[in-house]
Structure formats: C-alpha cells, structure tokens
Amino acid sequence: MGNTDVGYMAGTGVEMSRRVPIPPARSFFDTFCSNLKETFFPDDPFRQFKKEKGGRRAIRALQYFFPILEWAPSYTFSFFRADLIAGITIASLAIPQGISYAKLANLPPILGLYSSFVPPLVYAMLGSSKDLAVGTVAVPSLLIGSMLGKEVSAAKEPVLYLQLAFTATFFAGVLQASLGLLRLGFIVDFLSHATIVGFMGGAATVVCLQQLKGIMGLEHFTTSTDLISVLRSIFSQVHQWKWESVVLGCGFLSFLLATRILSKRRAKFFWLSAAAPLTSVVLGSLLVYLSHAESHGVQVIGHLKKGLNPLSLTGLIFSPPHMILALKTGMITGIIALAEGIAVGRSFAMFKNYHIDGNKEMIAFGAMNIAGSLTSCYLTTGPFSRSAVNYNAGCKTAMSNVVMAVAVMITLLLLTPLFHYTPLVVLSSIILSAMLGLIDYEAAFHLLKVDKVDFCVCIGAFIGVVFGSVEIGLVVAVLASILRVLLFIARPRTTILGNIPNSMAYRRIDQYPGAQSISGVLVLGIDAPIYFANSNYLRERIFRWIEEEEERLRVNEKTSLHYVILDMGAVTSIDTSGISMMKETKKALEKRDLQLLLANPGTEVMKKLNNSKVLEIIGHDWIFLTVADAVGACTFMLHTAKAENLIRENGPNDGNIV
C-alpha cells in the first residue's frame, strides 16, 4: 500500500490551486535583511518620517530623538496647571523617599535629593512616557549597598565608596543606552512577569528586614541580606533595642499604611498616600526637635549640605580592581532598574492608549544615568509608586518631572537644614510601607491558579533572594525561565487529530470529545517547530503513536494502518536536524509499508524541504493544503485499493466489467 503509485493522485481531483506552493527563492541578502529588521526593528521606528522629505524629515528625526520637541510646541497653560500639581505632589514624595533610599544604599542622604534633580530634567527631554516620574528605587539601591559593601566599607572608606557608586551608575547608564542603541531591548523581556513578581517580593522582604535595623534603633548590623543572617543579627542584640525608636517607627508605619489603604479604597484620596511620607518627615522632625529625642538614642539625619549637585566627573574610577566591582554592580542594577522603568512606562502607556518605544526609552534611561553619574547622582529609573502618584495627580506630559526637579532644587538651595532633626526611624517606616506594597501575594496566587510552572519560577526567585542573595535569586529565576522555554522546545506535544462532525476541521481528539478518527489513516498534529533539540524525540514519538494505533486497529477493528498524515500547521520553523528527521521518518515509514502525507506545511518548511531535496523523497504530490484534503486522498486510495483487491480476487478477466 505504501508503494501505491503517486499516479493515483491525478484521479483525486486535487486542483492545482490547492497545491502547496514552493516559495519563490529569495536572495540570501533579502532574507537576511528582513530577518534582521524583524529582530531589531520590529516596530519599524522610522516608518513615520520615511515619507517626509528634506527639512521636514530632519525635524521629524529630531522629534524622534528628542520627544520634547514633539509635545513642547503644542504645550498649553491648562497642561501646565495639571503638570504643576502633579509635579509638586511627586516632589513631596520624592524628597523623603530619595533620602530613605540613599540610606538603603549606604550613601549620604543628600544624594537622594541630588538624584531627583538632574535625571528628571534629562528624562523630560528624551523620554517618551507622559506618566513616568523619575527617581531612585529601593531594590537597586539595596543591591548597590550590598554589592559594593562586600568589598568596600561605606563607613571606613566613604570617598571610595561614593566614587564606586557613581562609577556603577555610569556603567549602568552606558549599558542601558547601548542596549537601546543596539536595539537589544528584548533582553529585558527575558525577565518574565513571574520572575519579576518573585524577585520583587523577595527583594522587598529583604529590604523590609534591613529596615528592622532602623526601627529597632540598632547601630551594628550584618552586611548580609539573607533572612537567616538578618534575624540572627537582630535577635543577638535584643538588649540593644531602643523602645523610643520602636514606638516612633511603629506609629509612623501605622499612619503610612492607614493612608495607603484609604487611598487604595478611594481613588480621589490618592493625595493622602502621596503626602503622607512628607507629613511623617515633618511631624517626626518636629517631634525630635521639641523632645530632644536625638540625645535619647533616636538617630537623626544630621547636617545636610546646602547647594546644588557638585560635579563628580573626576571621581569616576576606570582602573582595576575597583572598576570591575563597579562594572558588575552597574550591569546588574542597570538591568533591574531598566526592567522596572520599561514595565512602568509600558503599563501607563497602555492605560492612556499611546505607544512607547522600548529601545528609545532605554536610551533615555541610559542618558539620564550617565548625566547623573557626572553630577553626583546615583542610579535612577521610573519607580512604579511615584509614577502611579504622578498619573493619579493628573500629569499631562513629562513637564511634571521638570516641576519636581525645580521643587527639589529649591529644597536643595534653601530647605536642607530643615531635615537635620528628621529621625532615621521615620525613613525606615517610609521604606517599609513602600516595600510591603511590593510583596504581591495576590499575583503569586494568580500564578498558582493559572500556571504552575510560572508559580515555581516565581517562588524560586523569591526563595533565592530571601535565603541566598539578590543576585542568586535573579540567576535562579532567569535560568528557570529559559529552561522552561527549552523544555517546551525539547518536548513538544504530538496529538492524534480527528474530524469534527459536520466540518472539514481536524482537531485534537482529547480536546474535542466528538472528533472522529478515520480507519486506516493516522492524523498526527505536531505542536512545535522541529529543531535539533526535539527532532530525535519527535521521530521516536511519532513511531510510538504509529505502533499504538497499529495495535489498536489490529485488536479492535482487525484492519491495518496505511497512511500517516502529519499536520504541519504548527511547525512554523525547521532546521537541518528537523529536515533530516523528516527524511528518516519517510524512509522508516516506507520500510513499514506506510505512506507519509504532509498537510499545511508553512513557507519555511517547504523552502527547506525543497532546498535539501527531501521534497523529492517525500513527493510533492503527497503534500496537501489541509488535513481534510490529505484525508480525502487517503480514503479515495483506500477505496480504489479495495476495488482492485476485489478485481484481483475475482480474476483479471472480470476487470473490464467492473
């Protein structure tokens, strides 16, 4: 039966228009260019000014690189009013948060203010998000503190530590800008949602644990970030706990959490949670100033230098061994900051239905960090909390960042002495309340419900961060995510397809209970591209299906299998190992007297089958547009063969009569 002449096909009435064509040969250069374009310029960013000419084109190009030129000309007073309110709101959040996060990175508190001045101005010129508010973030701050702290002590070598922080920021900026320029933004996509949930939850837990130092009013603390070291450090110093500090901390924390909950319940109270940190700082400072608590063990920020950012260009370190440390820190924190910033930008763009170019955003982030590293700022990005406040406060354009920068500038020039009595415990409460919001147990529960593998990735990242270190957690999560993709490729599903009654459609028998199989014909769907990683598996799995089907037919229907149809609809890509596998499968089927038919192969499969001459071995006549066509040909031939057998049994002489 397998040797049935292909000549039969002429009789099946398959029209030429329904044959699967071999795609026309394209030059290697064409294919290469179009693949390159699809990989690196999937959004075709230059489309918009391709049609323009001369001067207009130059203006459009300038507008492309400096989005401010796009929105500034049509900026109105009503926009400005909205941005002014939003800008002042985020500034009131930025000042206490900035100081807090700088402490988290073991950097002088004033750096938090510096970092809310220069980078927002740069972003306002280059960034394409209308809602993103620039500032420092907790997790990268903690990472800078822990990674640099392993080799250089912030307490013993403050100048070197500071220089390393600037250098790390510089490298982070260079990395971000180059990823954007090289259009490698998709690297950030390899941090999956599940990874980020687990990683952020873990990192927030770690940050919270670190805050216990401030809340308890401890002076000595472990430099490790893992749960066990921190708990050991805290409980070994029970006699050092300061009750004044604990009471103050818990009080402010309750206040902050209460405002958060309130503003979550009602959107119009958003300003409550936005204003609460600054209120806490003011109240805390007043309390300390009036009660002289600083002499009763409550630590305060102390003297903050007046004046704008000093230049830090000459402080950058470009010689080993310290450069390596800064480079490593910059790479890791840069990627994490980028992932957060891009995700935040994208989410708000989706809300307001405008488009953000990820690669362009990376260039903006990179530029603002490079500029920041030269002007005494450390790593900034677009934090979710601050951007959400910005959005809720009704910002219209990136001008709200400019307003925030101006507000911070005024603070730097005039108001820094006011922070002298701000107790550190208030800063710890501010961080704690922000971090508790990052532990997204609802998202983890959602993952558990929808996708168990994603949940494992998430928990892996969380455990890695909490019990190991932030770096370990990140590596675990990224590896797990990639492993998952590779496993998917290595073990694609193959399924038996059956005909859905009253239709030409063939679908999985296990998914559609009504689907009917055809006796003597096995229809197999292959659910993935055929690659080196799965070609051996697929070949063996196909033969196992065939053996099972032959067994079933022998036992149940006393017939045998004649045709094997592979539905290639989902085989969207194939490599040379896959092509060899097709060839070997064809040959092995021939040895078993089975005929192989292909249904619905895509462009790439047809092209490669043709180039490798495997098409000749399989036979172009055995390739069909749809599974239904292939099944039609099989049943036609089965009937013909039955008729022939009948003729043969009745003797050749009767042939003419039939």
- Rounded to a whole number of angstroms, the minimum distance from the CB of residue 475 to a second copy is 16
Q: How far is the CB of 492 from a second copy (least distance, A)?
A: 7
Site mask for a second copy (CB under 8 A), range 291-330, x = bound:
----------------------------------------
| 471 burial via Cβ count (<10 Å: 0-12, 13-18, 19+) | middle
Other CB atoms closer than 10 Å to residue 351's CB: what's the count? 10
The DSSP annotation for 12-76 comes to GT--GGGSPPPPPP--HHHHHHHHHHHHH-TT-TTHHHHS--HHHHHHHHHHHH-THHHHGGG--
Instruction: By CB under 8 A, tell whether 449 contacts a second copy.
Output: yes
Q: Which of residues 164-223 bind a second copy (CB under 8 A)?
A: 186, 189-195
Rounded distance between C-alpha atoms, residue 268 and residue 265, angstroms: 9
Closest contact distance (angstroms) between CB of 353 and a second copy is 5
Q: Is 379 in the site for a second copy (CB under 8 A)?
A: no
Binding-site member from 527, 560, 621, 641 for a second copy (CB under 8 A): 527
Choose which of 254, 291, 503, 650 interacts with a second copy (CB under 8 A): 503
Q: By C-alpha distance, which of 597, 587, 589, 593 is closest to 627? A: 597
In the region spanning residues 385 to 424, those forming contacts with a second copy, defined by CB under 8 A, are none
Phi, psi of 523 (to 5 degrees): -105, 115
Map the footprint of a second copy across residues 504-523, applying CB under 8 A: 504-505, 507-508, 510-514
Rounded to the nearest whole angstrom, what is the least distance from the CB of residue 488 to a second copy in the complex?
Answer: 6
Query: 334 vs 345, which CB is nearer to a second copy?
Result: 345
- β-partners of residue 381 are 135
**Separation CA 175–CA 430 (nearest Å):** 31
Alpha helices in 105-222 (DSSP H): 110-114, 118-126, 138-151, 158-181, 186-189, 193-216
Does 438 engage in binding with a second copy (CB under 8 A)? no
Q: How far is the CB of 114 from a second copy (least distance, A)?
A: 33
CB of 350 to a second copy, least distance (A): 6
Exactly one of 240, 576, 645, 650 binds a second copy (CB under 8 A); which one?
A: 576
Q: How far is Cα 578 from Cα 612, in angstroms, rounded to an integer?
A: 11
How many residues in the shown chain lie near a second copy by CB under 8 A?
A: 96
Site for a second copy, residues 581 to 640, rule: CB under 8 A:
584, 587-588, 591-592, 600, 602-603, 606, 608, 611-612, 625-626
Residue 206 backbone dihedrals phi, psi, to 5 degrees? -60, -45
> Is 148 or 579 the residue whose CB approaches a second copy more closely?
579
Q: Which is nearer to a second copy, 278 or 615 (CB)?
A: 615
The single residue among 328, 420, 491, 620 that binds a second copy, judged by CB under 8 A, is: 491
| Residue 388 DSSP one-character state | H
Q: Give me the phi and psi of 363, to 5 degrees please.
A: -65, -40
| 487 touches a second copy (CB under 8 A) | yes
Q: Which of residues 12-71 bind a second copy (CB under 8 A)?
A: 15, 17-18, 21, 23, 28, 31-32, 38-39, 42-44
b/e 143-167 (16+ beta carbons within 10 angstroms → b): bbbbbbbeebebeeeeebbbbbbbb
Nearest CB to a second copy, comparing residues 26 and 648? 26
Helix (H) or strand (E) holding 596: strand 595-599
Q: Which helix (H) or strand (E) holds 564?
A: strand 563-567
**Part in contact with a second copy (CB under 8 A); list of ranges 98-106, 112-120, 290-298, 451-459:** 451-459
- Indicate whether 577 belongs to the interface with a second copy (CB under 8 A): yes
